[in-house]
């Protein structure tokens, strides 16, 4: 009976199946829409916002800490108020979103590439290479990402590329483990044996036959890892060891409001925080739905 209902869910294309799966859930559809809007904002936003918050000429210190909906000295309305330096919060958030998203996506994609390559290598060659790679993976996964990132950044110092590097280092192992597990399952299936007995070349079997069947976990983990990376970067920046003040991300904006929070100037922290939450939450909802649609048995985390 399960086989029966299952057959209706399956369809040819993996991408079509993913998309249909997302659109099949109102929650995930809304989340996907929010993701797309936020991506568009990050790309086109700086051209549309009222102020370049990092152009010193554009900001006026007398506008500092204005509550939302205030008018500035020059007459423009700050919908979301201003921060301690008199920057328009809305503009600062759009710039921050761009940075946060960029770092998250970039590190996620590199980690995916590195992890997939190493995971496939491990599964394919087996033996010592496998042992070596997997010991390294175990080592990485044995420690919480935030601790490793902290260690790395404490040693490396601040900087965008250093943060990306740290995030790649803490993320690749997740991909490697998932890809290896998936590839090992595929390698044990008879269609791989059949391909070998048909005399097909090893790269062809590995990339043409096995890799496409390993895609679902890669995509699901990739989605969730981007959300993780954005969150981790924000945390590191909040702690003051992530991005430098010259490249403010959402985490840094929130940190700026930390001191003033107790005196009631909530907007400096609350709005960037809500934006960060909306971003991470919607990516996670989409990822969770993908997990459900593509691979119900994928392990947690």
Binding site for another protein (CB under 8 A): 1-2, 4-5, 7-8, 10, 12, 14, 27, 135, 139, 142-144, 146-147, 150-151, 154-156, 189-191, 193-201, 204, 209, 212-213, 227, 231, 234-235, 238-241, 251, 254-255, 257-258, 261-262, 264, 266, 269-270, 273, 276-277, 280-281, 284-285, 288, 297, 299-301
CB of 175 to another protein, least distance (A): 18
Judged by DSSP in three states, 172 sits in helix
Q: How many of the other CB atoms lie within 10 Å of CB of 251?
A: 28
CB of 8 to another protein, least distance (A): 5
CB of 265 to another protein, least distance (A): 11
Cβ nearer to another protein, comparing 10 with 56: 10
Cβ nearer to another protein, comparing 122 with 276: 276
The Cα 23–Cα 105 span in angstroms is: 23
Name the E strands within the chain. 70-71, 77-78
**In whole angstroms, how large is the CA radius of gyration of the chain?**
23
Cβ nearer to another protein, comparing 69 with 194: 194
CB of 199 to another protein, least distance (A): 5
Cβ nearer to another protein, comparing 55 with 193: 193
- For residue 263, give both structure tokens: 């005196």
Largest Cα–Cα distance of the chain, in whole Å? Answer: 78
Cβ nearer to another protein, comparing 29 with 52: 29
Contact in structure between 78 and 93 (CB atoms under 8 Å): no
Q: How many of the other CB atoms lie within 10 Å of CB of 171?
A: 28
CB of 244 to another protein, least distance (A): 14
CB of 300 to another protein, least distance (A): 5
Q: Residue 136 contacts by C-beta under 8 Å, 6 or more apart in sequence?
A: 173
The vertex-137 CA angle with 280 and 175, nearest 5°, equals: 40
Cβ nearer to another protein, comparing 50 with 84: 84
CB of 148 to another protein, least distance (A): 9
The Cα 272–Cα 55 span in angstroms is: 20
The Cα 230–Cα 3 span in angstroms is: 39
Cβ nearer to another protein, comparing 75 with 199: 199
Distances (CA, A) of 291 to 99, 165, 206, 211, 294: 27, 27, 24, 18, 5
């Amino acid at each position: 009976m399960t086989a029966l209902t299952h057959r209706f869910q399956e369809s040819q294309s993996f991408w079509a199946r993913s998309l249909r799966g997302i659109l099949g859930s109102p929650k995930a559809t809304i989340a996907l829409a929010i993701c797309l809007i936020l991506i568009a904002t990050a790309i086109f936003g700086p051209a549309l916002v009222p102020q370049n918050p990092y152009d010193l000429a554009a900001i006026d210190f007398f506008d500092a800490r204005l509550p939302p909906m205030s008018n500035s000295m020059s007459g423009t309305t700050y919908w979301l108020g201003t921060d301690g330096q008199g920057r328009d919060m809305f503009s600062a958030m759009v710039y921050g979103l761009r940075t946060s998203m960029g770092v998250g996506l970039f590190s996620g994609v590199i980690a995916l590439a590195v992890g997939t390559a190493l995971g496939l290598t491990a599964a394919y060659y087996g033996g010592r290479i496998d042992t070596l790679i997997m010991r390294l993976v175990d080592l990485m996964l044995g420690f919480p990402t935030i601790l490793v990132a902290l260690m790395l950044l404490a040693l490396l110092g601040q900087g965008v590329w250093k943060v990306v590097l740290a995030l790649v280092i803490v993320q690749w192992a997740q991909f490697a483990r998932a890809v290896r597990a998936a590839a090992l399952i595929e390698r044990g299936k008879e269609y791989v044996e059949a391909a070998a007995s048909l005399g097909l070349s090893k790269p062809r079997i590995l990339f043409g036959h096995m890799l496409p069947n390993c895609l679902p976990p890669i995509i699901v983990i990739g989605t969730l890892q981007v959300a993780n990376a954005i969150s981790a970067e924000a945390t590191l920046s909040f702690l003051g060891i992530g991005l430098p003040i010259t490249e403010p991300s959402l985490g840094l904006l929130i940190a700026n409001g930390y001191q003033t929070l107790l005196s009631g100037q909530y907007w400096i922290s609350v709005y960037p925080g809500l934006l960060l939450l909306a971003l991470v939450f919607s990516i996670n909802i989409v990822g969770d739905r993908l997990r459900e649609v593509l691979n119900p048995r994928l392990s947690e985390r």
